[in-house]
Amino acid sequence: MDPTLLAETASVGGFFALRAGEPEPGHRPLADVYAGRSPLLTVRVDTVAAGLRAPERRVAASVAHLGLAARLWSVALGCVALHGRVPDLDPALLHWDPARSAPDDLVLREVRWLTADAATVRETVQLRHLVPLAEAVRRDTRVSSRLLWGNAGSALAGAVRELMAWSRRTGRPEAAERAASLAGELFAGPGLAGTVHGPALRRRTCCLYYRCPSGGLCGDCVFDRPPGRRQSRGRA
């Protein structure tokens, strides 16, 4: 393992950081979270709900899901863009502590590098994490599958935008090209197809954050202004 690879990826931003080594108390394998053997997901949704004063639990569940999806996509896409490889994010090896923020929330017990083609990245993040994560969220809270896939697409698009900005600041155009190319293949695949549109990668669903007392519209929101309750239900 070359620790400098993860360190350089972390330089893109906090969401791109991944610690390697033995997890500390409070961390649990994401495999346990997905299988329902750990209450950490419920704890995270409860924490988000209290922090945002969410009027509905599904709002907090959506925001919590979006945050973890963004972490997973950012780590994978960042490593591909900068190094041409992706770490094996085996849910049994990737540990999570929802009480912490990046980079301390995720710890990978063993770093194994994989070939960074679209099929491998889709398997690593989408199939091994986002599919079981969505199932776990929906066991905890009644929230639509379409909304959660919209979150997954939005999280991937956000990682692309961050890498584009980093590439411009650092004079690394090849990183931006790798990120855009890989994201294009991922967005063409099942699950993510149709979740975003246009050159700005604007999402087609709403994460519901605007419903919180201090909430507003995200930068890629499907809405141009906060909608009424009836309209939001039709688009979420």
Predicted confidence at residue 1, as pLDDT, reads 52
User: What integer best gives the mean pLDDT of the chain?
Assistant: 92
Predicted confidence at residue 152, as pLDDT, reads 98
* Strand pairing class (106-108; 19-20): parallel
pTM of the model: 0.92
Residue 138: closest CA among 34, 29, 27, 67 = 34
- In the block, tokens 């070359």 appear at 2
Q: Tell me which DSSP letter residue 207 carries.
A: -
Spell out the long-range contacts of 201-206 with Cβ–Cβ below 8 A and sequence spacing 24 or more.
Answer: 201/153, 201/157, 201/160, 201/161, 203/150, 203/153, 203/154, 203/157, 204/150, 205/146, 205/147, 205/149, 205/150, 205/151, 205/235, 205/236, 206/147, 206/150, 206/232, 206/235, 206/236
Residue 90: closest CA among 29, 137, 17, 35 = 29
* Structural contact between residues 147 and 208, judged by C-beta atoms closer than 8 angstroms: yes
Which stretches of the chain score pLDDT less than 50? 229-235
Q: What is the pLDDT of residues 34-93, one digit of tens each?
A: 999 999 999 999 999 999 999 999 999 999 999 999 999 999 999 999 999 999 999 999
Predicted confidence at residue 214, as pLDDT, reads 79
Predicted confidence at residue 230, as pLDDT, reads 43
Predicted confidence at residue 232, as pLDDT, reads 39
117-135 in b/e form (b: 16+ CB < 10 A) is ebebbbebbbebbbbbbbe
